[in-house]
């Protein structure tokens, strides 16, 4: 009789929903539907923002908690490393610059995730990967207001984001976990992005 490994738990459903939304976003990028991809990226980021709180609603043993942590990191690999790189290749022109920035971003991102499992506590070391969601979508929405997402200035801004953020990922400085007012700020910004970009669909 066919059996699956005992790793599935309903406490991880929000993380897996974020994974699904990220894959949907990636598909829209490949189809050239950037506005829809950005909107899905925002919802994926919101799933990551609240998946920890959602998971803690359920009673879990030690192994299930550890599994949840690893699932969260593996989903982050897709949602906040692979997906942003897909955006990068779509948004930037050229043969070498996008590849160099993508490599820098990926290397720093995977090291950030690996180090997260070594250093645990009330503070992050380095900037969380999810900040790419906030930075990229807000930038895209801002330039969308002026119809400038095809401009050289927008491409230069995107290149700068993909240079600075990776350095933030590996910056050896404690960064407080998002909580309280930060959650409210993130939600407000997400709503603003959804309204601006959604109006273009």
Domain boundaries, the chain: 11-198
**Residue 128: closest CA among 177, 161, 82, 89:** 177
pLDDT at 123 over 90: no
CA distance 138 to 105: 19
Fold of the domain built from segment(s) 11-198: 1.20.120
Q: Tell me the pLDDT of the chain averaged across its residues.
A: 92
Q: What is the pLDDT of residue 45?
A: 96
Each residue's pLDDT tens digit, 134-171: 999 999 999 999 999 999 999 999 999 999 999 999 99
Q: Whole-prediction pTM value?
A: 0.93
Each residue's pLDDT tens digit, 5-52: 888 899 999 999 999 999 999 999 999 999 999 999 999 999 999 998
CA distance 60 to 58: 6
């Amino acid at each position: 009789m066919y059996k699956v490994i005992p790793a599935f738990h309903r406490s991880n459903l929000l993380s897996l929903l974020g994974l699904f939304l990220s894959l949907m976003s990636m598909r829209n990028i490949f189809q050239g539907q950037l506005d829809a991809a950005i909107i899905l990226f925002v919802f994926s980021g919101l799933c990551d923002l609240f998946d920890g709180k959602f998971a803690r609603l359920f009673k879990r043993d030690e192994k299930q908690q550890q599994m949840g942590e690893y699932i969260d990191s593996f989903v982050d690999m897709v949602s906040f490393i692979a997906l942003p790189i897909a955006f990068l290749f779509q948004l930037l022109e050229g043969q070498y610059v996008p590849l160099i920035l993508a490599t820098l971003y990926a290397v720093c991102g995977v090291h950030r995730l690996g180090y997260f499992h070594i250093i645990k506590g009330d503070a992050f070391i380095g900037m969380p990967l999810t900040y790419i969601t906030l930075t990229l979508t807000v930038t895209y929405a801002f330039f969308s207001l002026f119809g400038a997402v095809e401009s050289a200035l927008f491409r230069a801004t995107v290149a700068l984001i993909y240079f600075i953020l990776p350095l933030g990922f590996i910056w050896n400085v404690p960064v407080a976990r998002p909580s309280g007012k930060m959650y409210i700020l993130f939600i407000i910004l997400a709503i603003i992005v959804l309204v601006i970009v959604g109006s273009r669909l």
